Structure 1
Amino acid sequence: MRDVAPWREPVPAPGTMGEPRARGRFGEYGGRYAPESLVEACREVDEAFREARADPGFRGALAELLALHAGRPTPLTPARRLSQELGVRLYLKREDLTHTGSHKINNVLGQALLAARMGRRRLIAETGAGQHGVATATAAALLGLEATVFMGERDIERQALNVFRMRMLGAEVVPVTTGSRTLKDATSEAMRHWVGVTGESHYCVGSVIGPDPYPWMVREFQRVIGDEARGQCAAELRTGVPDHVVACVGGGSNAAGTFAGFADTTARFVGVEAEGGAGAARGRLGVLHGCRSLFLQDDDGQIVEGRSIAAGLDYPGVGPEHAHLRDLGRARYVTVTDEEAVGAAVRLARTEGIVPALESAHALAWVIRAVGGGDLPAGSTVLMTLSGRGDKDVSTLKELL
């Protein structure tokens, strides 16, 4: 499948990937399209987050947890054998090496600390691949909070290992049997549940989606990926900045966090979506889960279910800031098929000894294809965020290989 949009020159505009405009807007996207019963809850989260991020004590506590519990900083690993095969210099930002096995822990530790600061006793979360659910259950256990995780019935079947991990950590896992029984419906159920328990519970959104302030709050908690990578690239690369920064995109949190560290540079941003869940590449303007963004829709404006072999990428839309970056020409969004992703996972395993999550394998699949198609010239430097490890996908891969 060829990419759906041509390159435009990157635009490192001043203020890009800073705070959103009034009412949580990124250009024409974002906002707070929440039920009346949740508007006040979102306002409280917004106020608490702004106070917390300005508080050195909160920032210090989060930095300590990220270091001592999550294992940050994560390394920047040169993929030497694969780079030699491809003719580019590929570096992997190793979020798969964090505690719980993915970038999700960065955001969850931040939101869990925020919830405790607000006096909330319980975390609510949605999850697709299960990594956000595991991270939420982990943070809840660490801080003495309760956790309830909503997960589509279909995802429960294909991510059984993560379901077990969540339950072992003490979380309640609630199967969602409506609609596609995947991430979109899990998110809807989690938001509906939050309506009745806002006084005691914090909704720990797992990606850069949802009503304001969640898209930029989650991006700020994930910014640690990009900030670390920026410093590591400065030490590793002659130019200090890679030619391309690549990450997979479902809702888009690992990509947003990585891009944020390079927003003021001329690095080209590439967000890689699943062929069956390409909100940024093929979506249309709409409102879902509290924000205005780009979503897959039919001719009647109804949301079309996303489809992907990677449970974390079958969301039918994209975070509002990604939609804005697309419009600015600051980021390019491309698609990868299930087959390409599986092939990339196998290739990374056999050249570098790393089994990636199928979500992350989408990003690598684009790199491999772009080299062959001429979009990545020989000698290019590429930073790719390896957002998670592949343990959770072993059963899926075993059936296919």
Structure 2
Amino acid sequence: MIQRIDLRGRSLSRADLLDVLPRPEIGVEEALPAVTSVIEDVRGRGAGALRDLAQRFDGVRPEHLRVPAGALTTALEGLDDAVRSALEESIRRVRAVHAAQVPREHATVLADGAEVRQRWVPVERVGLYAPGGLAVYPSSVIMNVVAAQEAGVAALAVASPPQKDSGGLPHPTILAACALLGVDEVYAVGGAQAVAMFAYGAAGSEPVDGAVLCEPVDVITGPGNVYVAAAKRLVRGVVGIDSEAGPTEIAVLADDTASADHVALDLISQAEHDPMAASVLVTPSVELAGAVEARLVDLAEGTKHAARVATALGGPQSAVVLVDDVEHGLAVVDAYGAEHLEIQTRQAADLAQRVRSAGAIFVGPWSPVSLGDYLAGSNHVLPTGGTARFASGLGVHAFLKSVQVIEYTRDALAEVADRIVAVADDEDLPAHGEAVRGRF
């Protein structure tokens, strides 16, 4: 069901590791041409293009691209009590974690009358994406919205794909989550077209949508498939993005102390997201590898989405990777840069401190990725495809700008005036020096 990659006895450079480790066959680069045409269509035709694209990709032509307020209220009223309780607890925990992330403003006094202050300013408007293809993700609504709210963003818009069974609106649980969070600007738009709508805005279609359907945003965040990730890459620079969050992935670094059942269950839990999901076990234990492979066969057959899981586990993006020892395994998972990294080894907490590249790290046998997906309090919108080497998971920082405020008195400027002139003259920018000298 799942391939093996044997790295034992091989001394590989970082570049060699990146070549040999499993990755999906379809990446962002391959998706760019198709996504470019979608973005151009939305920019040119606005609501008309969004409806046509919904018909093409989602199999339904929504009457209301912006969800009516009454639909949000109805969805919340119809929400199952147990689900509502779970979502409310998730909101509480995620809000507590993200409130603690807000940086404090501070001032640095360099000399009498010479001060530089650091301010943190939220962006004005954000577009938040919640996937809704093979599954629906009210949890992603929570992760996006709470982080933006705790950052102090004033205007929030959520987009999620229209559903056939919901009359062309997003799934009712998505709408209920928005209502719980107090978000009333919600769009029945999915995929790359949602990214395009947020980045460039979209004209309406009279009389259904009005003259303007959606105003442009400053930042777009949220997970999605490879096409959503490609769209984010194309609009980056027009707007800010969190990261290129494509198909989900899990890497488990485990030794002979790990439970084969735990590891297999966790690999399957991510494989059920998407046929392109990646599930990777890195271990020095041949015995654990064999036991996990056997359990994957048994457990995958009995899970609800067995066909999807089998495709994901059997794809080129998934593997059991054999390494010489845990130290070798640590180097491998650092090169891989997993979205989710579980460490199920001796001294797991110590190893976690040494990991440099992972979207989120789950330490020990009682911290499965499923916990982080819903109720850990951490954010589950995380970098994928190896981008954890340079990108971070979603947090309040995605919605904040750092602004420096400089205030000097006359005496403080006079103290450094000659030095400013010296550097300005050396750079052959004499007017810079004159802008200081002329004040005296």
Q: Same fold (TM over 0.5)?
A: no
Q: TM-score, normalised by structure 1?
A: 0.36
Q: Which has the higher Rg, Structure 1 or Structure 2?
A: 2
Q: TM-score, normalised by structure 2?
A: 0.33
